[in-house]
Amino acid sequence: MTEKTLEGRIALVTGASRGIGRAAAIALADAGAHVVAVARTQGGLEDLDDELKARTGQGATLVPLDIAEGDGLDQLGLAIHQRFGRLDILVHAAAILGGISPVSHVDPKNWDRVVAINLTASYRLIRSTERLLRQSQKPRAIFLTSGRVARPKAFWGPYGATKAALEHLVRTWADELENTPIRAALVDPGAMRTKMRAEAMPGEDPLTLPEPAEIGPLIVELADADLGLPHQTVDFQAWKASHRVLSA
């Protein structure tokens, strides 16, 4: 049985209907948090809700929302304030790849969509939730990034560029809040068995990659950790290897 280290905490998770976002939502709920689950697909959210009820006896607060809609994120912040009065944990996992192509071949509409979801929505989410996080006794904000920031690679331009901008944004925000209880973390999950990875690497054997569920314990750990400023990105693969050694 999972230890209820996050009992009574309110956790907002974006991209919660699948992949890493879903894994984070499940892990946080198993640890006792009430999850506010955000995703575009109602069906995916309902499937998550069913699983959480089966695992914990309690469902999630479901928010079908395209995070590219900034006004929707503003309304989300207001709704959380009205219902809970605070936010303890933010996990921003939603992102899109935007296809794999040379930079000069990227369609402008596709570029705008990648920027809207991977970058602008992150700013709007921070803007909408900072006041809520300030009401928490131990507020934590966790943002999923990518190894493409440190290791640029051909054809990954829009995705890598927006993740690099996300990292700069989060580190700037964290520095601004150094004298508050709010602490942020950037997490690089590495290659995982997700739909996005399959889109980027269609010839890869997914069975060689870790399941998204494996990152759940790290998300829970960071949600309750005494974090400093996010000068370094948390590398999930390194974290996993170190925990494997400790448990051996």
Q: Confirm if 19 and 196 have CB atoms less than 8 A apart.
A: yes
Q: Are 12 and 62 in contact (CB under 8 A)?
A: no
Cα separation of 169 and 188, whole Å? 16
Q: Active site includes 159?
A: yes
Residue 183 DSSP SS3? strand
Pick the closest to residue 145 from 122, 125, 173, 127 (CA basis): 122
CA distances, 9 to each of 28, 72, 127, 153 (Å)? 9, 23, 21, 39
Query: Residues with Cβ < 8 Å from 73, sequence gap 6 or more?
Result: 65, 67, 121, 124, 125, 127, 128
Q: Which entry of 159, 162, 174, 218 is annotated as an active-site residue?
A: 159
Find where tokens 């309110």 sit: 10
Residue type at 165 in one-letter notation? A
What is d(CA 205, CA 155) in angstroms, rounded to the nearest whole number? 20
Neighbours of 61 (CB within 10 A): 17
**Integer Cα distance of 193 and 209 in angstroms:** 5
Do 197 and 209 form a contact (C-beta atoms < 8 A)? Answer: yes
Give the residue numbers marked as catalytic. Answer: 159
